[in-house]
């Protein structure tokens, strides 16, 4: 559907080699921008008409032609010629074929350089909102699961060693906090990229009397880019978006790692619905959390997109360079991967329960109340560094004796510290520890109740 010869080819003495055509085309991956290319073109044409650079009848013909092209692409009725190279030239070629001379005026005061920069910003604005909706959905799933386990206990880990007892709900809400930062980072990214490069031209703007504020307003941009060189040549907003995706992927990977471990026979903390597990082609007893393993693995895809995008920008000279054509590959890859992973994570969380009974049986292991005992001694006037050493010695004694701290007699406590009294037992045992958590943001019943209420209220608005 390309013209017999594109205008820029008149500068060249020969037609592009077929190898060149295949190498430089981007239609295979930038067709997803067609809606934004058409919306941007209609806004540009509207501005040209207002500025008397085209007539109103020409604008109407251009707009009608572009709307029809959009409908045909949506319906799968329009096939593009790869010789058009990209979605911009493909749409323009289709427009000229349909409406003739007016179509040739659409590119007045515009370059593919500012055109693609506009398209990708428009696409990313919408893409960010899609990802934010998915983040909110996953947050809601975590909050709902936390509500089911607001009274259940589990061990928390540091260095993969048992540390202190926590409510299962508090553990689940920790992911909601991480996802909230992802949500707000994307919001900030959207605010920064919401700047119109349209009208910057190839690099230096134009001598024609265009109105950049007009097109920016039509397209919902907050402002116009202040420097035409920067407007067409930088893709820092793409890097920022992929970085945000990379952090989302990192958070999902950590969640997946936890639940892969928790689903193992050694831990047996969670029961993930069979719909989100697979079995083995050889071992009939296996029940593998493969979707979580893939979620963990796909993080590498997003990290790869980030490194690729940074590398593209690393050594480019000022101004637009064709290297930037590759940006859409990596931005799209990061977006697609994160969207699928967020969708899968929400499904898994919504179909998982914590095996509270099994977890409770093992809560006496690991001396989870040791820190609380050290803090009990602080209440009795013992300096923390001293109480820390006392409890460490008591734990060593208990390990040899084969019993938990709460089973020690008062006389045994007195051998290590005279500060211990009858009330020491009120601070021992995981239930006592959890209910005594006092600091804001801690993992006790009162704090978790507050956190649940806060998140339910906040997420209800999304």
The verdict on 377 and 317 lying in the same domain is: no
The verdict on 339 and 428 lying in the same domain is: no
Q: Write out the residue range of the structural domain in which residue 85 sits.
A: 7-108
The verdict on 128 and 43 lying in the same domain is: no
Work out how many domains the chain is built from and give that number: 3
Write down the catalytic residue from 7, 159, 281, 439.
159
Write down the catalytic residue from 280, 281, 351, 387.
280
For 94-123, b/e burial (b = at least 16 CB within 10 A) is bbbebbeebbebbbebbbbbbbbbbbbbbb
CA distance 383 to 419: 11
Q: Is residue 212 part of a domain?
A: no
The verdict on 391 and 290 lying in the same domain is: no
| pTM, to two decimals | 0.93
* 278: Cα separation from own chain's centroid: 26
The verdict on 308 and 440 lying in the same domain is: no
The verdict on 82 and 196 lying in the same domain is: no
The verdict on 104 and 118 lying in the same domain is: no
CA distance 204 to 291: 49
Annotated catalytic residue 159: yes
The verdict on 331 and 238 lying in the same domain is: yes
**For each of the chain's 462 residues, which pLDDT tens digit applies?**
444 445 545 555 566 778 888 777 887 888 899 999 999 999 999 999 999 999 999 999 999 999 999 999 999 998 888 788 888 999 999 999 999 999 999 999 999 999 999 999 999 999 999 999 999 999 999 999 999 999 999 999 999 999 999 999 999 999 999 999 999 999 999 999 999 999 999 999 999 999 999 999 999 999 999 999 999 999 999 999 999 999 999 999 999 999 999 999 999 999 999 999 998 889 988 889 999 999 999 999 999 999 999 999 998 999 999 999 999 999 999 999 999 999 999 999 999 999 999 999 999 999 999 999 999 999 999 999 999 999 999 999 999 999 999 999 999 999 999 999 999 999 999 999 999 999 999 999 999 999 999 999 999 999
Of 172, 219, 169, 163, whose CA–CA distance to 194 is shortest? 219
The verdict on 290 and 196 lying in the same domain is: yes
CA distance 195 to 358: 54
Using the 3D structure, point to which of 306, 328, 356 is the last residue of a domain. Answer: 356
Annotated catalytic residue 44: no
CA distance 22 to 13: 19
The verdict on 246 and 345 lying in the same domain is: yes
């Amino acid at each position: 559907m390309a013209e017999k010869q594109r205008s820029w080819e008149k500068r060249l003495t020969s037609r592009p080699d077929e190898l060149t055509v295949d190498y430089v085309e981007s239609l295979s991956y930038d067709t997803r921008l067609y809606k934004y290319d058409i919306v941007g073109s209609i806004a540009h044409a509207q501005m040209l008409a207002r500025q008397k650079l085209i007539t109103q009848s020409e604008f109407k013909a251009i707009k009608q032609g572009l709307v029809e092209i959009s409908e045909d692409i949506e319906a799968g009725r329009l096939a593009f010629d790869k010789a058009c190279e990209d979605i911009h030239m493909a749409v323009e070629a289709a427009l000229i074929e349909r409406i003739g001379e007016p179509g040739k005026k659409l590119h007045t005061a515009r370059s593919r350089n500012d055109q693609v920069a506009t398209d990708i910003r428009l696409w990313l604005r919408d893409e960010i909102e899609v990802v934010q909706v998915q983040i909110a959905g996953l947050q809601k799933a975590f909050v709902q699961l936390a509500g089911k386990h607001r009274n259940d206990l589990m061990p928390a880990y540091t260095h993969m060693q048992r540390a202190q007892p926590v409510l299962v709900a508090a553990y689940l809400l920790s992911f909601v906090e991480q996802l909230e930062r992802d949500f707000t980072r994307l919001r900030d990214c959207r605010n920064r990229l919401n700047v119109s490069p349209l009208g910057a031209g190839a690099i230096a703007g134009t001598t024609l009397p265009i109105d950049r504020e007009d097109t920016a307003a039509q397209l919902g941009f907050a402002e116009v880019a202040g420097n035409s060189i920067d407007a067409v040549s930088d893709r820092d907003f793409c890097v920022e978006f992929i970085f945000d995706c990379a952090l989302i992927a990192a958070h999902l990977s950590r969640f997946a790692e936890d639940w892969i471990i928790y689903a193992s026979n050694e831990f047996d903390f969670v029961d993930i619905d069979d719909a989100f597990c697979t079995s083995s082609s050889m071992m009939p007893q296996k029940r593998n959390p493969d979707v979580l393993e893939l979620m963990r693995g796909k993080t590498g895809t997003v990290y790869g997109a980030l490194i690729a995008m940074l590398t593209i920008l690393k050594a480019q000279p000022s101004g637009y360079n064709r290297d930037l054509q590759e940006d859409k590959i990596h931005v799209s890859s990061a977006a697609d991967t994160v969207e699928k992973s967020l969708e899968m994570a929400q499904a898994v969380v919504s179909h998982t329960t914590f095996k509270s009974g099994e977890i409770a049986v093992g809560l006496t292991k690991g001396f989870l109340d040791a820190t609380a005992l050290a803090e009990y001694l602080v209440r009795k006037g013992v300096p923390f560094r001293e109480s820390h050493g006392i409890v460490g010695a008591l734990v060593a004694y208990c390990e040899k004796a084969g019993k938990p701290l709460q089973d020690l007699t008062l006389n045994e406590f007195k051998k290590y510290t005279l500060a211990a009294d009858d009330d020491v037992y009120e601070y021992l045992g995981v239930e006592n520890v959890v209910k005594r958590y006092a600091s804001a943001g801690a993992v006790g019943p009162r704090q978790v109740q507050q956190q649940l209420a806060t998140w339910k209220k906040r997420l209800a608005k999304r």
